[in-house]
Amino acid sequence: MAGVLVYSDSSDSALELVTLGSKLGREVSVVVLGSEDLSDQTKKVSVNGVSTVYQISSDALSNLLAGPTVDALESVYSRVSPDYMFFSSTKKGKELAPRLAARLKIGCITDAMKPELNENGITAERLVLGGNAIATVASRGPAVATIPLRAFERASGNASPNVIKIEDFQPRPTRTIVLGRKEKQKGQVNIKDAEIIVSAGRGFKKKEDLAILEELAKVLNAVVGASRPLTSDLGWLPEDRQVGLSGTTVKPKLYIAVGISGQIQHLTGMRESKLVVAINTDKNAPIFQECDYGIVGDLYAIIPELTKDLKLQLGR
């Protein structure tokens, strides 16, 4: 029985994929790639459930650009001939999986939720049509899949898997070079692309009170948004922070509406958020019809508590 091969650009998420492989009852091999000494990475992924770690170290892999990375993964794949290969659903993972699948002429499932094996291949669920529907998809035979982050616990324990260094890796020639890299700046405000938004509404009584929300935003690496009255009418926040039809339409992964009743203006601008949290004193506020989680209560009491809890849990 061939096993599964896992690769992720982050060792932590590779460990989640190891858990998945073990859960599926397969032998798990992990690929580590880089341009320098890979012993640290190898050590990180030497956990229970991992049978083999494949290392390729090459100058061509210094930036893990798609071309050489796919070449490297192909060379491991052809050596291992696994049934399945798993990537994390990171941006890097999602650009590698399809290209590798196309090269290997096998199936590809991205953002696979609840992956399971059947006699022919892999079955998984995918959110489609803007989250309106769940598609159950199945591969015919071997496939690669990308798995959403945090879907599985990280595998742990100290183990001593086989470590195989592939020395004869020959990437295809490429002329793509990296000119520079700019780390994401913390606190950089771009509400349109923000992954987490905490938004303030009329529940706040004074401009100064927004400080408690900013504190929460800091803990979550979130951007502070606002409903129309706070930006246009009161001017507590600049106009570019306004979420709503006449402001910016956002679709973050998490949207926390604090003291926002949920006028249609506002709802239209945030309804495509993946997860919506509402905190408001009025339990009849329309926002509670549009939220995944809600707290009916005084934001002045709740927000500091929430900030404290999250700070603790996230270790910040």
Partner 1 sequence: MTQQPGTKEKKNPLEIIVCFKHVIDETELRIDRANNKINFEGAKTKISDDDKNAIEEAVRIKEKNGGIITVVCVGPADAKKSTKEALAMGCDRARLIVDPSFQDGDALSTAYILSQVVKKIGKFDLILTSTGTTDSYTGIVGPALAEYLDLPQLTYASKITISGNKLTVDRALDDGIETVECEIPALVTVSREINQPRFPTLIQIMSAGKKELLEWNAQTLGINPSVVGKADSKVEVKSLSVPKSARKKVIFEGKPEDAAKQLAEALLKEGAVK
Partner 2 sequence: MILASVTLPTSFLDTCVQTEVCRLKYPLLPSDTPNYLYSLFIIVLAIFLYGVYRKFSIYKIGRKEIFRNLPKLVKNGKRIIVDGLGQKKILQRRYGGVMHSWMFYGIIALTIGTLLVGIDYDILRPEGIVLLQGDFYLGYKTVLDIFGLGFAIAVVLALARRISFKPFFMGEDRSDRFLLVGMLYMGVSGFVQEGLRLALIPVPWVYFSPIGSIFANLFSSVGVGPSATSFQSWVNTYQTLWWIHAIVAFALIASIPYTKYFHVPNSIINMMLTDEERPLGRMSTPFNLAEIMKQQETNPDFVPDLTIGIKTSSDLKWDQRIMLDACTNCGRCEAACPANAAGRDLSPRLVVQDLKNRYYRDSKMKESQENEDLFSTGTIRDVEMYSCVTCAACVYECPVEINQVDFIEDLRRTIVSSNRLEPAQNTLLSNLASHQNPYGFSNSNRSNWTANVPDGVKIASENGGVEYLYWVGCIASFDQRAQNVARSLAKIMKHAGLSFSILGSEELCNGDPARRLGEEGRFQELALQNIEKLNGYGVKKIVTTCPHCFNTIKNEYPVFGGKYEVVHHTQLISELIEKGKIKISEGKLKDISVTLHDACYAVRYNSIFEEPRKILKNAEMDLREMPRCKEKTFCCGAGGSSYWYKIPQKKTITSIRTEEAAKTGAETLATECPFCLTMFEDSTKVTGTKLAVRDVAELVADELP
Quote the least distance from Cβ 252 to partner 2, whole Å.
Answer: 17
Report the run of H or E that residue 15 belongs to, with start and end. helix 11-23
Instruction: Give residues with Cβ within 8 angstroms of 216, minimum separation 6.
Output: 198, 222, 256, 303, 306, 307, 310
Q: Which is nearer to partner 2, 195 or 239 (by Cβ)?
A: 239
Q: Enumerate residues 275-314 that contact partner 1 by CB under 8 A.
A: 275-277, 283, 288-298, 301-302, 305-306, 308-310, 313-314
How far apart CA 77 and CA 71 sit, in angstroms, is: 10
Quote the least distance from Cβ 115 to partner 1, whole Å.
Answer: 12
Residue 298 binding: pick among partner 2, partner 1, none (C-beta 5-8 Å cut-off by kind): partner 1
How far apart CA 259 and CA 201 sit, in angstroms, is: 5
123 near partner 1, rule: CB under 8 A: yes
Size of the site for partner 2 (CB under 8 A): 17
Strand 28-34's sheet: what is its strand order?
107-109, 143-147, 84-88, 4-7, 28-34, 50-57, 162-165
Contact 97, 146 (CB under 8 A): yes
55 strand-pairing partners: 32, 165
How far apart CA 135 and CA 174 sit, in angstroms, is: 37
Quote the least distance from Cβ 21 to partner 1, whole Å.
Answer: 19
209 near partner 2, rule: CB under 8 A: no
Cα 111 to Cα 22, 86, 91, 95, 205: the distances in Å are: 19, 11, 11, 12, 42
Residue 153 binding: pick among partner 1, partner 2, none (C-beta 5-8 Å cut-off by kind): none
Full DSSP string of 210-257 = HHHHHHHHHHHTPEEEE-HIIIIIS-SS-GGGBBSTTSB----SEEEE
Residue 80 binding: pick among partner 2, partner 1, none (C-beta 5-8 Å cut-off by kind): none
| Other CB atoms within 10 A of residue 128 CB | 12
78 near partner 1, rule: CB under 8 A: no
274-281: Cβ within 8 A, 24+ apart: 274/131, 279/203, 279/303, 280/201, 280/203, 281/203
Two tokens at 73? 């993964």
Question: Which among 52-60, 139-147, 204-212, 233-241 is the span making contact with partner 1, rule CB under 8 A?
Answer: 139-147
Quote the least distance from Cβ 258 to partner 2, whole Å.
Answer: 17
Residue from 143, 198, 210, 267 touching partner 1 (CB under 8 A): that is 143
Question: Which among 81-89, 132-140, 209-217, 231-239 is the span making contact with partner 2, rule CB under 8 A?
Answer: 231-239
199 near partner 2, rule: CB under 8 A: no
Residue from 1, 59, 78, 91 touching partner 1 (CB under 8 A): that is 91
Which residue reads 């006699």 in tokens?
119
Q: Which is nearer to partner 1, 158 or 313 (by Cβ)?
A: 313
Question: Which among 45-53, 94-102, 172-180, 229-237 is the span making contact with partner 2, rule CB under 8 A?
Answer: 229-237
Quote the least distance from Cβ 246 to partner 2, whole Å.
Answer: 5
Residue from 234, 310, 312, 314 touching partner 2 (CB under 8 A): that is 234
Residue 186 binding: pick among partner 1, partner 2, none (C-beta 5-8 Å cut-off by kind): none
User: Where do contacts with partner 2 occur on this chain (CB under 8 A)?
Assistant: 202, 228-229, 232-234, 239, 242, 245-249, 263-264, 268, 286
